């Protein structure tokens, strides 16, 4: 009986520290390998607009958490719970928008600094504001997003009807 040498490769769970490599997909591009039947310019435009919506929705979500933490006064308890509820709902929206960007082959914004550079929502002060000001700030942020969603929906409908017309001609 022949003895075979048993070779053991050394496997380690130790992480490799300080790695830096190039991006696998730059921000502002779309992956070409996806069978979406959407032309690249359409996917580029939609991912750009969705990233703007994502930045504003992340900002709104964070405004709700800021308000949740900093609310004060006789309506504290009710508003504390309400702000936290809306924070959670906005978190779900953030996830849906980011996943849609990824599904279109794009790269979604993910870091706070990128969101801060991109958002159209006015930055609040670091300190605590009165409840009416908190509410006004939240309403203003919602208006920014509603305006943007309406424009985005109209543009998506235009692009969709244009694609339908092109496929009908084929």
Q: Looking at the domain assignment, is residue 31 inside a domain?
A: no
Q: Looking at the domain assignment, is residue 44 inside a domain?
A: yes
Q: How many domains are contained in the chain?
A: 1
Position 120 scores a pLDDT of: 98
Q: Looking at the domain assignment, is residue 96 inside a domain?
A: yes
Report pTM: 0.84
Q: Looking at the domain assignment, is residue 27 inside a domain?
A: no
Q: Looking at the domain assignment, is residue 6 inside a domain?
A: no
Who's near 70: CB < 8 A, 6+ residues apart? 128, 129, 134
Rounded CA separation 61/84 (Å): 9
Give, as one character, the DSSP assignment of residue 162.
H
Q: Looking at the domain assignment, is residue 53 inside a domain?
A: yes
What range defines the domain where residue 106 resides?
Answer: 40-169
Tens-of-pLDDT digits for all 170 residues of the chain? 555 555 567 788 888 888 888 888 999 999 877 677 788 899 999 999 999 999 999 999 999 999 999 999 999 999 999 999 999 999 999 999 999 999 999 999 999 999 999 999 999 999 999 999 999 999 999 999 999 999 999 998 998 777 655 544 44
Which CATH number covers residue 155? Answer: 1.20.1260.10
Q: Looking at the domain assignment, is residue 14 inside a domain?
A: no
Position 3 scores a pLDDT of: 59
Q: Could you count the other beta carbons within 10 Å of the beta carbon of residue 57?
A: 27
Q: Looking at the domain assignment, is residue 5 inside a domain?
A: no
């Amino acid at each position: 009986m022949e003895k075979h040498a048993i070779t053991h490769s050394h496997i380690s769970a130790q992480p490799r520290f300080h790695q830096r490599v190039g991006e696998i997909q730059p921000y502002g591009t779309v992956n070409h390998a996806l069978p979406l039947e959407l032309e690249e310019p359409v996917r580029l435009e939609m991912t750009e607009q969705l990233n703007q919506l994502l930045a504003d929705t992340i900002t709104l979500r964070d405004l709700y958490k800021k308000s949740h933490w900093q609310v004060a006064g006789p309506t504290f308890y009710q508003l504390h719970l309400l702000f936290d509820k809306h924070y959670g709902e906005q978190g779900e929206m953030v996830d849906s928008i980011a996943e849609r960007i990824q599904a279109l082959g794009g790269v979604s914004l993910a870091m706070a600094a990128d969101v801060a550079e991109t958002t159209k929502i006015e930055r609040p002060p670091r300190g605590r504001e009165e409840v009416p000001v908190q509410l006004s700030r939240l309403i203003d942020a919602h208006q920014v997003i509603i305006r943007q969603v309406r424009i985005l929906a109209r543009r998506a409908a235009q692009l969709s009807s244009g694609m339908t017309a092109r496929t009908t001609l084929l």
